[in-house]
Amino acid sequence: MRDLADTSRRSLGVTFREDGRAVVRLWAPTAKSVSLKLKHGTRSLLKQEHGFWELVTADMKPGDAYQFLLDEKLLPDPASLSQPDGVHGPSQAIDIADFGWTDTEWANPNLADYILYELHVGTFTDTGTFDAVITKLPHLKSLGITALEIMPVSQFPGDRNWGYDGVFPFAVHHCYGGARGLQRLVDACHRHGLAVVLDVVYNHVGPEGNYLREFGPYFTKKYNTPWGDAINFDDAGCDGVRYFFIENALMWLRDFHIDALRLDAVHAIRDFSPVHILEDIRRYTTSLICEAWRRHYLLVELDLNDTRFIHPARKGGYGMDGQWIDEFHHALRVTTGQARTGYYEDFDGVGHLAKAYRDAYVYDGQYSTHRQKYFGVKADGCAGEKFVVFSQNHDQVGNRMMGERTSTLVSFELLKVMAGAVLLSPYLPLLFMGEEYGETNPFLYFVHHGDAALIEAVRRGRRAEFASFQSEGEAPDPQAQETFLRSRLQWSLLENERHHVLFAFYQELIVLRKSHNALRYLNRTTLDATANEAGQTLLLHRWHGPQHVWCAMNFSELPQPFLIPEQGHLQKVLDSGDARWQGLAASPDVLLDGNFTLPSQSLVVYTARHD
């Protein structure tokens, strides 16, 4: 098998050389014969080592439709870059390198400076395309966002899907604008000073249009995931499978100039190889960085409080740059009134929120009632930029039965407190599209499958999912177009005064985070968080050098006393209770002895210097 040390070029599917010839390369280790079927005839591929088949031909041009004839069975290319006729149609050749990039001066920011904004391309705008997202980049820039995080865009069945049912990992979904549309979006983001994070799925492949098993042992019966057979990263024949997904990661970074990948649910990846697949992806990403002189990050969604994933290889880790931590979200949501059902049963509210600020992981060795076992390890020594936190995201909104956003579940005052809780944290903050102005439309779970039995199975699965949450009523039909349409953002809400005020409050929080070193530097050793569980309050203290910041949060419905143990003057820099933010009551502008009463459901930030 070819050494992947050369990360400068794509080596699967169809590529085009400088002389115009097409190089066709396919991994099909058990095939007896492989041919390329074009509109004007077929061409045979020659068998190579390790199960690869190759062809160099002048008879194929960019834009041509093609299929593989695999032992007389007609199939699309598993490494296809374009599926204009859907997951069951022929593939389309694209010269992926033929794009006029204008981002040569772009430099990916330090990870610690990422302020993430997660969006779903199909529901972010009414037209649901990459080009439509470009029109909203000035909005995101004015908000203060530094990194756009895009939910998966690999080709999925139908016209609407969250993206986690993708079946062509290399093909950008045609309805969004295809490969060229994504390249235009990334180029535009870089012009606006925004990094781009792409969500990719390496733990499973969707059920409809999944032709991978026709080509080789892409799946294994050794393990299962909640979504079906696990991808074969460590069983017989796994070398070609690992190659396939490593090449996929490299393609996004190299050919689409993506700045970071967010690897979905890596806890569902089963790999007992001496070198874990994540280590391999890390290794080749590092090689690409050294070769191209472009910085890239690898972030993971991880439902395990296991620092092995984010420790570097020299410490026995997999080398991921950071991880999502749901526990901060769970503690925050329980603090603000979320019922303690399902996985929320493990969280007691403001006490656990304070622990999340101090320790990142809430469970770092304690007994988990929900998991029915001792769970987690200490995250000591892991910097704040290793963790991504949020008050909502696609999962935590869309996996509610009715897809309710936080804006419809808590008061306007609590929305501001929750925003501050995330954006003033010592971690990487992530906002979910529309959160910044209080979007009220739900974000529901939607699909567009073509198989009747699969559609019914998805419906049954959604009903079963909410049993542990004791939800009442019926979940919206995931297959119905109306479910998808209800999930679109209402940009006109920004014209409403209260929504505009909330947007301005988010802007102010982000300015505060960027302009105060005590908030900007994500040092977890210069921090303290104290909870008053009886009063439902939390005092977050962060400092850097002589600068100290105190963030007081009152989650209760009553005014609560606070004491900031500080000698000298404390100057107020932000108060959610101010009239400017349509607040109910303001806190003192200056504190002389550290004592004050914080109005109900409000947040105030004070600063001081120790010279």
For helices 277-292 and 238-255, the axis angle rounded to 10 degrees is 40
**Measured between alpha carbons, how far is residue 452 from residues 205, 207, 458, 459, 476 in Å?**
19, 13, 10, 11, 17
Q: What is the biggest distance separating any 2 CA atoms in the chain, rounded to whole angstroms?
A: 86
Q: Cα–Cα distance between 249 and 255 in angstroms, integer?
A: 10
DSSP output for 280-296? HHHHHHHHHHHHHT---
Q: Which residues pair with 263 in a beta bridge?
A: 200, 300
H or E element, residue 108: none
Question: Is 291 one of the annotated active-site residues of the chain?
Answer: yes
- Angle, vertex CA 257, rays to CA 11 and CA 268, nearest 5: 70
Catalytic residue (one of 149, 235, 264, 435)? 264
**From its phi and psi, is residue 360 left (phi > 0), alpha (psi between -120 and 50) or beta?**
left
- 136 class by beta-carbon count within 10 Å (0-12 exposed, 13-18 middle, 19+ buried): middle
Q: Cα–Cα distance between 532 and 554 in angstroms, integer?
A: 10
User: CB of 35 within 8 A of CB of 68?
Assistant: yes
Which two structure tokens, joined as six digits, stand for 128? 């649901």
**Helix, strand, or coil here: 113?**
helix
- Enter the DSSP assignment of 111: G
Catalytic residue (one of 71, 126, 291, 456)? 291
- Which residue in 46, 43, 10, 31 sits closest to 179, CA to CA? 10
Q: Cα–Cα distance between 255 and 250 in angstroms, integer?
A: 8
Residues with Cβ within 8 Å of residue 149, at least 6 apart in sequence: 116, 117, 118, 119, 197, 198, 199, 262, 430
**Measured between alpha carbons, how far is residue 186 from residues 137, 147, 150, 243, 251 in Å?**
11, 11, 11, 25, 14
Residues with Cβ within 8 Å of residue 347, at least 6 apart in sequence: 327, 330, 331, 333, 334, 340, 362
Strand order in the sheet with 602-609: 527-532, 537-544, 547-554, 602-609, 570-575, 590-591
Q: Give the amino acid at 188.
A: A
- Which residue in 584, 550, 552 sits closest to 569, CA to CA? 550
Q: Cα–Cα distance between 357 and 342 in angstroms, integer?
A: 23
Which runs of consecutive H residues, i.e. helices, occur in 293-429? 326-335, 350-359, 394-398, 412-423
Question: Is 264 one of the annotated active-site residues of the chain?
Answer: yes
Which residues form the catalytic set? 264, 291
